[in-house]
Amino acid sequence: MKPQNKRSARRSGPERPPSPTVSPAILARLREITHLALDLDGTIYKGGTLFACTRPFLAQLRELGIGCTFLTNNPSKSSADYLAHLGTMGLHVTADELYTSAQATIDWLRARHPHARRIFALGTPSMLAQFSAAGFVLTREEVDDEPDAVVIGFDQALAYARVCRAAWWIQRGKLFVATNPDRVCPTDQPTVLVDCGSICAMLEKATGRAPDIVLGKPDPAMLDGILARHSLRPSQIAMVGDRLYTDILMAHRAGAFGVLVLTGEAKADDAAEAAQPPHLTVPSLAELGALLAAVHLPLPR
DSSP, residue by residue, 60-110: HHHHHT-EEEEEES--SS-HHHHHHHHHHTT----GGGEEEHHHHHHHHHH
Where is pLDDT greater, at 174 or 100?
174
The answer to whether the CB of 286 falls within 8 A of the CB of 57 is yes
220 against 225, higher pLDDT: 220
Same domain, 64 and 25: yes
Indicate whether 3 pLDDT > 80: no
- The closest of 300, 260, 298 to 279, measured between CA atoms, is 260
Residue 224 lies in a domain: yes
Name the nearest CA neighbour of 166 among 200, 126, 132.
200
Q: What range does the domain containing 205 cover?
A: 102-214
**Distance set, CA 242 to CA 162, 163, 300 (Å):** 31, 29, 32
Q: Which pLDDT belongs to residue 14? A: 43
Domain boundary among 214, 248, 283: 214
Give the C-alpha distances (Å, rounded to integers) separating 254 from 68, 99, 247, 257, 279.
Answer: 17, 16, 11, 9, 13
Average pLDDT over residues 180-189: 85
Query: Residue 275 falls within a domain, yes or no?
Result: yes
Res 19: pLDDT: 56
What's the length of the chain? 301
Q: What is the DSSP pairing of strand 45-46 with strand 193-194?
A: unpaired
Residues 249, 110, 199, CA angle at the centre, nearest 5°?
Answer: 50
Q: What is the pLDDT of residue 185?
A: 87
Residue 61 pLDDT > 80, yes or no?
yes
Residue 129 has pLDDT above 70, yes or no: yes
Question: Side chain identity at 297, as an amino acid letter?
Answer: L
Question: Residue range 130-158: average pLDDT?
Answer: 96
One domain, residues 59 and 158: no
Angle at 140 between CA 136 and CA 146, to 5 degrees: 75
Question: What's the whole-model pTM score?
Answer: 0.78
Number of compact structural domains in the chain = 2
**Same structural domain for residues 13 and 117?**
no
Q: Which of these three, 165, 185, 214, is where a domain ends?
A: 214
Q: Is the pLDDT of residue 6 over 70?
A: no
* 25, part of any domain: yes
SS (H, E, C) 223-278: HHHHHHHCCCCHHHEEEEECCHHHHHHHHHHHCCEEEEECCCCCCHHHHHHCCCCC
Please tell me whether residues 139 and 66 are part of one structural domain: no
Instruction: Judge whether 270 and 246 are in contact, CB under 8 Å.
Output: no
Within-domain flag for 97: no
The sheet that has 118-122: what strands, in order across it? 137-138, 118-122, 149-152, 175-178, 213-214
- Is 2 domain-assigned? no
- Among residues 205, 216, 218, the alpha carbon closest in space to that of 276 is found at 218
The region of weakest confidence among 145-154, 187-196, 259-268 is: 187-196
- Residue that is last in its domain, among 168, 194, 214: 214
Does the residue 200 lie in any domain?
yes
Is residue 88 assigned to a domain?
A: no
- List phi, psi (to 5°) of 127: -65, -45
Q: Does residue 15 have a pLDDT over 80? A: no
Q: At what angle do helices 101-112 and 221-229 cross, to 10 degrees?
A: 90
**Number of Cβ within a 10 Å radius of residue 193:** 18
The chain-wide mean pLDDT, for the chain, equals 90
Confidence of residue 5 (pLDDT cuts 50, 70, 90): very low
Q: Judge whether 271 and 260 are in contact, CB under 8 Å.
A: yes
Task: Tell me the mean pLDDT in the region 146-171.
Answer: 97
Clarify whether residues 176 and 231 are in a common domain: no
CATH number for 210: 3.40.50.1000
What is the C-alpha separation between 176 and 244, in angstroms, rounded?
25
* Co-location of 200 and 228 in the same domain: no
